[in-house]
Amino acid sequence: MNPDYEEQLKNHPKYPQLVKERKKRLARDGYMNFIKTVWPSFIEGRHHKVMAESFEKIANGEIKRLIINMPPRHTKSEFASYLLPAWFLGKYPEKKIIQTAHTAELATGFGRKVRNLFQDEAFQNIFPDVSLRSDSKAAGRWNTNKGGDYFSIGVGGAVTGKGADLLIIDDPHSEQDAQAGAYNPEVFDRVYEWYTSGPRQRLQPGGAICIVMTRWHKRDLTGQILKSAIQRKGADEWEIIQFPALMPSGSPLWPEFWSEKE
């Protein structure tokens, strides 16, 4: 915006209201702006910007298949399983989300957080026309007032009768599974078989898949998806983003929160 025009605008009697409306519009359109509005204490790192841009492309239909591999404790779940579903359904309250995690309890916990954010004043200010349907407020399965649907499930659970415009898979392997998988890779195979026969089959036309996880083994979900894509000569259909805890330069990925020593 022109600085002179901005200065003139400050003298307008409705300037405070115009500023509020502009912030709301930016939060509706931009994922990072949304996060900073509903999570004021958020500490931004360079990887968050990359993730935010990718999630915006999913919302805009530019990306249909996304895998983000990153270390633990770098706001993976907050970004992908808590704030992304809320923002996506705020923008498109008529759409459907299936959210998965490695246990049903964890998946339901994500659903509860998203549901509660829907009722938060900050969210309501951004999306004033979107709310929960009055008769549908269970933590792991609920509907919006515009006909949208949120359904959470643990790895291995059934998704019969559910559809997804956006399928989110957050850390499908627990650390315990990863340890067991080092000796018995079939632990990873079971997750891949569930993914291909269950949630992947529930995508709506034009639906997107977002997988955010820590890598544990060559046969983990990321590894098997990429192997299958290469065998089908369709590897380019997946957008792959990998974040190491320490960058090639030796500096931490998120120095604002994790020091090199830590």
Q: What is the pLDDT of residue 159?
A: 83
Rounded CA-CA distance 53/32 in Å is 8
Per-residue pLDDT of the chain in tens (262 residues, 90 and over written 9):
555 545 555 665 665 666 778 888 999 999 999 999 999 999 888 989 999 999 999 999 999 999 999 998 788 899 999 999 999 999 999 999 999 999 999 999 999 999 999 999 999 999 999 999 988 778 899 999 999 999 999 999 988 788 899 999 999 998 887 777 666 888 899 999 999 998 888 899 999 999 999 998 889 999 999 999 888 876 568 999 999 888 888 888 777 777 777 7
Q: What is the pLDDT of residue 191?
A: 93
| Token pair of 249 as six digits | 């330069």
Rounded CA-CA distance 176/15 in Å is 55
Q: What is the pLDDT of residue 233?
A: 74
Nearest to 70 by CA among 155, 170, 154, 168: 170
Q: What is the pLDDT of residue 16?
A: 66
pLDDT digits (tens, 9 = 90+) for 93-139: 999 999 999 999 999 999 999 999 999 999 999 999 999 998 877 88
Does residue 97 sit in helix, strand or coil?
A: strand
Q: What is the pLDDT of residue 182?
A: 67
Nearest to 211 by CA among 223, 201, 202: 223
State the DSSP code for 174: -
Q: What is the pLDDT of residue 246?
A: 84
Rounded CA-CA distance 22/74 in Å is 30
State the DSSP code for 218: T
Q: Is the pTM of this model over 0.85?
A: yes
Query: Residue 64, Cβ neighbours under 10 Å: how many?
Result: 16
